[in-house]
Amino acid sequence: MARIVVIGAGMGAMACAARLAVAGHRVTVYERGDTYGGAVRRFERDGFAFDTGPGLLPLPAVYRDLFLKTGKEPLEDLVELVQVDPAARHVFADGTRVDLPNASRAGVVAALDETLGAGAGQRWGDFLVRAREAWDRTRRPLLEEPLWPNWQVLAEREPYPSVPHKKLLRTRRAATLAEVGAWELRDARLAELLASHALAYGLDPRTAPASAAVLPYMEHAFGTWYVRGGMRELARAVYERCVRRRVEFVFGAEVTRVVEKDGRAAGVELADGSAVEADQVVAGVDPALLGALTDRPLDGEGDVPAGLAPSGAARFTVLLALRGAREAGTAHRTVVHSPDSAAESDFLAAPGGAAQPRPTVTVYRPGDPALRPDDAHESAVLRATVPVDAGWEDPERAARTTELMLDAASAAIPDLRERLLWHEVVTPDRAGAVPAPSLAAGDGRFLHPANSTRLPGLYRVGGWAHPGGGLPHAGMSGALVAGLVVEGPEFRGSR
């Protein structure tokens, strides 16, 4: 039995802690905050409740596997998973609306043909077939296996089989998601639909590699799920599973240093000056933060340089308390596309440049009685992807962005302004950047640092490490790190 210290109680760290405890180790989690779950937070006021982190769960199989491997009760016995239908309603810049059914390729094709014109659905369906190829080629290395030592292969090879595009005697293949949209989907609204999947993960479609096609594929193939009671219930279930497996949690305990002894990680120091010895240390925090906790570089030449991973865009979140009941036929999630997607990309790339355009806004209206004081009220969450560092502490900028988002959300919530009781803003400077899932191609800029480090006994887990951000990916990082700790460096991945 090894003594293992885990830094942070985010989802990746807790997923790892539960697995390590089941493998017979003594695991203690030190969390600087006063609760578990990291980004999976909840805000409550006047009987209204809101998920301030992820609004939906993709790829629930990752958490099903966690609960199966760490105990007898399946995930479905601990939380109520609801497959949302439609998966999303899209309101395009030209006003067209379409409801996309959950996890039904045929249903999506039919819905797109009906609203965008014959042939549109087929083009999207054909795109999904190619996206599946990219998924099949990268699923193992980018989700289920530790980062390959020869990660350059993943960085250089584009797994998405783009369609040759002829222009002025030249034949080209789409290298970015925006090019896939323009050249293969050949409809502005389909291109917007594709781009919105990248934006939801904080990626600019103009720079995201074509391999980002796996993101819409994941949603179409495996569905999109809501956790009844709010997404925080998933964090609660993972936390409780950890506690049941005798993982110890110490809250209000900031780790200030990883202690090294004889060339190995040997414990941590805490902000109160105390020290904790350990045989292994698992860090579920941003690698930049982790770098500051150690006395030596954690990556060597040939490792994925930490700086190469995209820092992740941020999210601007507006929480709405609304009077009046949620009307029949309301979609759980509505994506209101920006009227000017090029300007939106420009702003993401260079926030100091032109004026901020109205962003693409995702409106979450969960229809869950647990999130509202009574049936005569409703809670809703608005979310937009924005640059991390754009002066969000300036109240005027925050107010302007809120107004733009409320304007957009009016397309999803009738009479929004009249119904609004109050709103609360979570600016990016409070929530921080959100890491995107690891992607192939793009010269490795979309890969994350490996879970193992050059300091033996120190591992990286969570969204800022391989295989990247998002609930499923962070959950997988927990499985990978547990595998590396238990089986050693020869561990080649979980199934």
Ligand X SMILES: Cc1cc2nc3c(=O)[nH]c(=O)nc-3n(C[C@H](O)[C@H](O)[C@H](O)COP(=O)(O)OP(=O)(O)OC[C@H]3O[C@@H](n4cnc5c(N)ncnc54)[C@H](O)[C@@H]3O)c2cc1C
Q: Please list the alpha-helical segments (H only) found in 325-470.
A: 341-349, 395-409, 416-419, 428-431
Among 61, 288, 289, 354, binds ligand X (CB under 6 A): 289
- Cα 117 to its chain centre, rounded Å, is 32
Min dist. Cβ of residue 227 to ligand X (A): 12
> Contact with ligand X (CB under 6 A): which of 18, 22, 53, 436?
53
Nearer to ligand X by Cβ, of 131 and 255: the residue is 255
- Minimum CB distance to ligand X, residue 52 (Å): 6
Closer of 10 and 449 to ligand X (Cβ): 10
Q: Choose, by CB under 6 A, the member of 62, 285, 384, 390 that binds ligand X.
A: 285
Both tokens of residue 299? 């990556």
Distance CA 367, CA 379 (A): 8
280 in Cβ contact with 485 (< 8 Å): yes
Question: Could you tell me how far CA 347 lies from the centroid of its own chain?
Answer: 21
Residue 440 near ligand X by CB under 6 A: no
Sheet holding 314-323, edge to edge: 97-100, 88-91, 333-336, 361-364, 377-386, 314-323, 420-426
Work out how close the CB of 8 gets to ligand X at its nearest, in angstroms, rounded to a whole number: 2
- Min dist. Cβ of residue 11 to ligand X (A): 4
What is d(CA 461, CA 476) in angstroms, rounded to the nearest whole number? Answer: 9
C-alpha to C-alpha distance for 376 and 327, rounded to whole angstroms: 11
Least distance (Å) between residue 9 CB and ligand X: 5
**Interacting span for ligand X (CB under 6 A) from 64-72, 94-102, 115-123, 465-473:** 465-473
Judged by CB, which is closer to ligand X: 54, or 442? 54
Please, what is the Cα angle at 391 between 401 and 351, to 5 degrees? 75
One character per residue 239-278, x = contact with ligand X (rule: CB under 6 A): ---------------xx-----------------------
Nearer to ligand X, 27 or 109 (CB): 27
Mark residues 382-421: x for contact with ligand X by CB under 6 A, - for none.
Answer: ----------------------------------------
Q: How far is CA 55 from the centre of its chain?
A: 10
Query: Which of 207, 225, 278 lies closest to 248 in space, CA to CA?
Result: 278
Q: Which is nearer to ligand X, 124 or 226 (CB)?
A: 226
Q: What is the closest distance, in whole angstroms, from the C-beta atom of residue 368 to ligand X in the complex? A: 17
Phi-psi category of residue 435: left, alpha or beta, with phi > 0 → left and psi -120 to 50 → alpha = beta
Closest CA to 198 of 362, 406, 444, 425: 362
CA distance 136 to 140: 8
Tell me which of 27, 434, 447, 479 binds ligand X, using CB under 6 A.
434
| Secondary structure class of 26 (helix, strand, coil) | strand
By CB under 6 A, residue 458 contacts ligand X = no
Q: Supply the minimum distance, in Å, between the C-beta of residue 392 and ligand X.
A: 13
Q: Does 469 bind ligand X (CB under 6 A)?
A: yes
Q: At what angle do helices 120-139 and 188-200 cross, to 10 degrees?
A: 30
Of 387, 444, 463, 483, the one binding ligand X by CB under 6 A: 463
> Minimal distance in Å, beta carbon 383 to ligand X?
7
Q: x/- string (CB under 6 A) for ligand X, residues 6-35?
A: -xxxxxxx----------------xxxx--
For ligand X, the binding residues in 304-333 under the rule CB under 6 A are 315, 317
Q: Using CA atoms in the order 285, 287, 290, 295, what is the torsion angle rounded to 10 degrees?
A: 170
Cα distance between residue 340 and residue 359, in whole Å: 8
Stretch that binds ligand X, among 143-151, 211-219, 296-304, 470-478 (CB under 6 A): 470-478
- Minimum CB separation of residue 147 from ligand X in Å reads 16
Q: Which of 20, 42, 49, 55 binds ligand X (CB under 6 A)?
A: 55
Minimum CB separation of residue 291 from ligand X in Å reads: 12
- Total residues contacting ligand X (rule CB under 6 A)? 34
Q: Are 317 and 379 in contact (CB under 8 A)?
A: no
Q: Among 52-60, 87-95, 121-129, 401-409, which window interacts with ligand X (CB under 6 A)?
A: 52-60
| DSSP per position, 50-118 | EESS-SSEE-THHHHHHHHHH-SS-HHHHS-EEE-SSSEEEE-TTS-EEEEPTT-HHHHHHHHHHHH-T
Using CB under 6 A, list all residues that contact ligand X: 7-13, 30-33, 38-40, 53-55, 58, 254-255, 284-285, 289, 315, 317, 431, 434, 462-464, 469-471, 474
